[in-house]
Amino acid sequence: MNRRTIVLAIAGLAIAAFAIAASFYTSRQENAPPPAPIISAPSVQPDAPAITADAETPAAEVLADAEAPAPAAPRWDVYVREHSPVIGPRNAPVTIVEFFDPSCEACRAFYPIVKQIMAQYPNDVRLVLRYTPLHEGSEEAVRILETARRQNVFEPVLEALFVEQPQWATHGGPQLERAWAAAEAAGLDQARARAAMQSPRITAALNQDIADATTLGVRGTPTFFVNGEPLPSFGPQQLYDLVRAEVEAANN
């Protein structure tokens, strides 16, 4: 299944799913407790790359690079973390942050809507995804996505999981093998992913997202913030209006 087929399949299903999904979101938002941390895991910082010279690089240039001031480190905060998957230009002036659950019907319905908004502003908007596993089986689905991110196939795997969500994310009895099969068909190396899915880095990323969701008062999925601003009320038009206002402000 290629990406175009996947995207068209999602778009075709989105309209029918949205009304049901929105009501489902509302009930979960009112009743769902904040997700609990998975397990305690230390925060892991990426290893610093060593400075080495190769046959084509003079030693003096390597030394100069080593002595040059390091570029300013990116700023990470409660909205965007270093591990957060980003879709769209990383330096876009407008950031949509979505706390989502891969098992959530409303998240599935909103995905093509968000993609349409981003297509309208291809240079101005990026999407940052944060994990909020509220359903049974969602933690494993998140770990599938994190291993996909490390294999550079995050977006096709995410889209495949959304397309196949009705088959694997059945409430009360999720069929996670079907989620794995969908991910593998989208390009995931399943053997490598299963070996890496319980790594401390993935657990730390998941716990960080859960902690940030709690800090921000997220109680249902999807929950959106645009440049740190919550939606005035839940709905696709409200999301579009807030994004448009932020794009116009950034370009003036």
Tokens 């689905």: give the residue. Answer: 141
Residue 126, strand partner residues: 95
The answer to whether residue 74 sits within a structural domain is no
Please state at what angle helix 176-185 crosses helix 154-163, rounded to 10 degrees. Answer: 130
What is the C-alpha separation between 159 and 106, in angstroms, rounded?
14
The answer to whether residue 129 sits within a structural domain is yes
Residues 233-237 have a mean pLDDT of 96
Task: Give the pLDDT confidence score for residue 172 in this predicted structure.
Answer: 86
CATH number for 109: 3.40.30.10
The answer to whether residue 88 sits within a structural domain is yes
Task: Give the pLDDT confidence score for residue 73 in this predicted structure.
Answer: 55
The answer to whether residue 60 sits within a structural domain is no
What stretch of H or E contains 100?
Answer: strand 94-100
Range of the domain at 203: 3-48+84-251
Q: What is the pTM of this model?
A: 0.75
- Neighbour count for residue 80 (Cβ, 10 Å): 19
Q: Report whether pLDDT(16) > 80.
A: no
The answer to whether residue 57 sits within a structural domain is no
The answer to whether residue 67 sits within a structural domain is no
Using pLDDT thresholds of 50, 70 and 90, give the confidence band for residue 6: very low
pLDDT (tens digit, 9 = 90+) per residue, 103-139? 999 999 999 999 999 999 999 999 999 999 999 999 9
Domain count, the chain: 1
The answer to whether residue 66 sits within a structural domain is no
pLDDT (tens digit, 9 = 90+) per residue, 152-204? 999 999 999 999 999 999 988 999 999 999 999 999 999 999 999 999 999 99
pLDDT (tens digit, 9 = 90+) per residue, 52-88? 333 333 444 433 444 555 555 567 799 999 999 999 9
The answer to whether residue 62 sits within a structural domain is no
